[in-house]
Each structure stands twice: as structure tokens, then as C-alpha cells.
Amino acid sequence: MWLNFLLANSALSQCAIYVIRPAISYRTLELHGSIFQLGLIGASYALLPVLVAISFGRLATRVGEGKFLVIGTLGITTVGILLGFVHSLLLIGILSALAGMSHLVCMIGGQSMVAIESESSAYAKNFGYYTFSASLGQTIGPALAGLFLSASFFAFQPTRMTLIVGGLVALLGLLPALRISNIASKTTS
């Protein structure tokens, strides 16, 4: 049962990130960011995760993989929605870094969940399903982003609406993450 919730969370959180990331670039250009600033904002997504990845792996063990999924998914939700209302390149860079951190937290939580909850005979199969669900989200996300970025029927700017949609997709992923967190906390107590 936990695996189905994990796969839903993985597909939705990956979809959300892959909606948000290209829209960040478009939003940066809309705010007249230079190519250099675009590169810095793109790099900010990965900079913090690179610096904290090892320590976050240890932290997930103490906090719990289910809670890590909730925190990461909530972070993606919050960042996506906030990005839809930001008018500052500095804030876009900061939120891009937080999106990268939230994505890392989701991935650590999900991978830890598979490693801890899988029976040894299903370990490789469950990791395969988990990888498939992430790839599915990564496939749907850019297509969804393209659909919303090209939409002219919004009174709201399409780029800003796309960022908010990314946050709302992550919000859908919060539901299975909360369920996983409840399951994980019951098995550890």
C-alpha cells in the first residue's frame, strides 16, 4: 500500500518541478534578466543541494522518510505558488534554490522509503517502479509547462500562471505524502 502512495507522490512532485523549472527561466527573462543572471538563477537550483546532500541523508534517518516527503512536497508547493507572485530576480534566485532543496528532500525521502520499507525480494522491483514514476512526472511536467506557457486565455500572465500550476500539482502530491507519513510513523512505533 505504501508503494502506491509513494509512486503517486513521486510522479506528482517530479511533474511539479519540471513545470516550475522552465517557467523560472521564462519569468527571469520577462523581468529582463540578463543571460548571466539566468545562468546564476539556474545554478542556484543545484548549489544548496550539493552543499547539504550528505547531511540531509543523515537527517532523513532521524526525522523519518515519510516526514521528509511531506516537507519536500510542501516546499515545492510553496515555492511554485510564491514564484507566481514574485517580481524580483533576487527572490527568484532564492526561491529557485529552495525549489532545489525541496526536490532533494523529496528524493531522499522517497529513496529512503523504498530502501527501508521494501522486502529484500522486492527491493529492485520497487526501485524500478519508483524510478518509472519519477520519469513519468519528468515527462508530463515539461508538456504541461508548455501547454500553460503558450496559453493566451489567462487574464493572468501565462508564465506566472504556469508557476502557480506547478505549485498546485505539488499540492496534489502532498496528499499521498501525508498518507505515507502516517503509514511510516505507525510502522516505526
The pLDDT of residue 36 is 97
Q: Give whole-number Cα distances, 67 to 109, 136, 156, in Å.
A: 8, 23, 34
How many angstroms from the chain centroid is the CA of residue 186? 25
The string of DSSP letters for 22-66 reads HHHHHHHHHTT--HHHHHHHHHHHHHHHHHHHHHHHHHHHHH-HH
Residue 189 has pLDDT above 80, yes or no: no
Residue 121 binned pLDDT confidence (cut-offs 50, 70, 90): very high
> DSSP 3-state assignment of 189?
coil
The pLDDT of residue 183 is 72
pTM: 0.92
The pLDDT of residue 171 is 97
- Please name the residues in contact with 152: beta carbons below 8 A apart, sequence gap of 6 or more: 158
Residue 127 has pLDDT above 70, yes or no: yes
Q: What is the pLDDT of residues 3-55, one digit of tens each?
A: 999 999 999 999 999 999 999 999 999 999 999 999 999 999 999 889 888 88
Cell numbers placing 86: 514574485
Do 142 and 152 contact (CB within 8 A), yes or no? no
> DSSP 3-state assignment of 90?
helix
Q: What is the pLDDT of residues 138-185, one digit of tens each?
A: 999 999 999 998 876 665 688 999 999 999 999 999 999 999 887 765
Q: What is the pLDDT of residues 65-84, one digit of tens each?
A: 999 999 999 999 999 999 99
Residue 187 binned pLDDT confidence (cut-offs 50, 70, 90): low
- The conformation of residue 135, written as its DSSP 8-state character, comes to H
